[in-house]
Amino acid sequence: MHFETVIGLEVHLQLATQSKIFSGSATAFGAEPNTQASAVDLAMPGMLPVLNEQAVRFAVMFGLGIGAEIGRRSVFDRKNYFYPDLPKGYQISQFSDPVVGRGTFEIQLEDGSTREIGITRAHLEEDAGKSLHEDFHGCSGIDLNRAGTPLLEIVTDPDIRSAEEAVAYLKALHSLVTYLGISDGNMAEGSMRCDINISLRPVGSDTLGTRAEIKNVNSFRFVEKAIQHEIERQSDILEDGGKVVQETRLYDADRNETRPMRSKEVANDYRYFPEPDLLPVELDDAFIEELRELLPELPREKRARFVSDYGLGDYDAGVLAASRPLADYFEAVASEAGDAKIAANWVQVELLGRLNRDEKDITDCPVPAPHLAQLIQRILDNSISGKIAKQVFESMWNGEGDADSVIAAKGLKQVSDSGELEAMVASVIDGNPEQVEQYRAADEGKRKKLVGFFVGQVMKVSKGQANPQMVNQLLADKLG
């Protein structure tokens, strides 16, 4: 039997506010345990939450970024459960009236096709602390630094059909939220965590199968692997005539498998009810319009502009627009170099390739945009060949200066002086009488092939710096 995969994602996005969502504590990552936990975060008796307005602004900016309905009156609720890293015994979240309502999100797949993913809702809530199970000799430690960090939980409709689509969605989401500046998007530090709801159904069926929920996956690669594994697991069960159990599972990256969490966790009744310590959040038009004015050009708009203004292909434009710093870098190179297509090619192929190889982000790129632009200019004005340019780029990457100083220091400037080139060509012809003989005896078709030998020899003599067009021309003249 053939199955169709149905996936819905819940992303917990940490918002880039300076302080927590309901207290004045700092949200910086990596501080000593419990040094960023105030009396409110510790749920000391009598302490009360006060909503951080910036968190609301960020949530609304997200809503505007995906063209969603903005909840004019959103309500915080208590989600009740006991856990040591949840100090109040309830999480303040939003249940029936979220700040962001229905919206849609367009993703682009590698083959260039696009898909619309429905966004069910996005709501504000507070993060929990962390339980530390090591170094406590049979006990657990609790670190409440993270408790109260603002989260935006973004929930999709069950519109995703494959691991590839899931990853494309997450990448696009990551791109959007970093464009908006509402999250640092740092997945390794847990700024973007993903719960995956996944079920299978026979192709053609329109009822949903029983789903499993995979909790807290925190990298694109793990999302892809967890989904692939889960598809396999569920289809094995269904093909054997079995039934998928609705449960919460954990993805174990080391073993590349999912396994069930304790079943007790699944049977939670969260007893949601409106948080009496906070008033409903009422947003008026002025507040929303003010934020709309603040929205930057978003990835989709930027991509379209790259296609129309620079004549880039849709896919290339998508790659360059995916991250705001990358897009900014590209635009800086393109405008200084004066040729957007070559700039796009260099940024996408050489620069991104090199960044990937060193596992660096564009923000840590050792080659500043003006230096790359200068390099491209040297190709365009025939100072160097494309091949030499790659060598120059490597030196620039290694911190040896800008393009001109590398070219000068290494004497890589292309030889276009006809006198010099004539001498080189002459010495090659003189030094290879047999090949000259062969060439002269050959017909037009074979000659084209044989001339390559002489070009190679000249380039060798010139250490790659001879202007290839001129060498070709001279050889054609001399060999007759």
Report the C-alpha gap between 453 and 457 in whole angstroms. 6
Range 149-176 burial, b when 16+ CB lie within 10 A, else e: bbbbbbbbbbbbebbbbbbbbbebbbbb
Asked whether position 138 contacts another protein by CB under 8 A, the answer is: no
141-143 and 130-132 strand pairing: antiparallel
Asked whether position 82 contacts another protein by CB under 8 A, the answer is: yes
Query: Of the listed pieces 41-49, 111-119, 346-354, 391-399, which binds another protein according to CB under 8 A?
Result: 41-49
Query: Of the listed pieces 80-88, 247-255, 289-297, 444-452, which binds another protein according to CB under 8 A?
Result: 80-88
Q: Of 2, 30, 32, 46, which lies in the binding site for another protein, with binding defined by CB under 8 A?
A: 46
Asked whether position 142 contacts another protein by CB under 8 A, the answer is: yes
316: Cβ–Cβ under 8 A, 6 or more apart, which residues?
306, 344, 348
Asked whether position 20 contacts another protein by CB under 8 A, the answer is: no
Q: Are 267 and 232 in contact, with CB atoms under 8 Å apart? A: no
| Sequence-ordered alpha helix ranges (H) in 270-385 | 285-294, 299-310, 314-321, 324-337, 340-345, 352-357, 369-380
* Least separation in angstroms between CB 78 and another protein: 5
Report the C-alpha gap between 409 and 225 in whole angstroms. 48
Q: Of 12, 20, 78, 249, which lies in the binding site for another protein, with binding defined by CB under 8 A?
A: 78
* Least separation in angstroms between CB 239 and another protein: 34
* Least separation in angstroms between CB 197 and another protein: 20
CB atoms within 10 A of CB 329: 22
Report the C-alpha gap between 29 and 324 in whole angstroms. 23
Asked whether position 45 contacts another protein by CB under 8 A, the answer is: yes
**Order of all β-strands in the sheet with 90-93:** 90-93, 77-80, 273-274
Nearer Cβ to another protein (16/124): 124
Asked whether position 261 contacts another protein by CB under 8 A, the answer is: no
Asked whether position 84 contacts another protein by CB under 8 A, the answer is: yes
Asked whether position 135 contacts another protein by CB under 8 A, the answer is: no
Asked whether position 254 contacts another protein by CB under 8 A, the answer is: no
Q: Of 58, 90, 330, 393, which lies in the binding site for another protein, with binding defined by CB under 8 A?
A: 90
Residue found under tokens 């995956």: 196
* Least separation in angstroms between CB 262 and another protein: 11
Degrees to nearest 5, angle at CA 203 with 202 and 207: 60
Q: Of 71, 87, 101, 148, which lies in the binding site for another protein, with binding defined by CB under 8 A?
A: 87
Residues of this chain that bind another protein (CB under 8 A) = 39, 42-51, 78, 80, 82, 84, 87-90, 142, 269, 271-273, 276-279
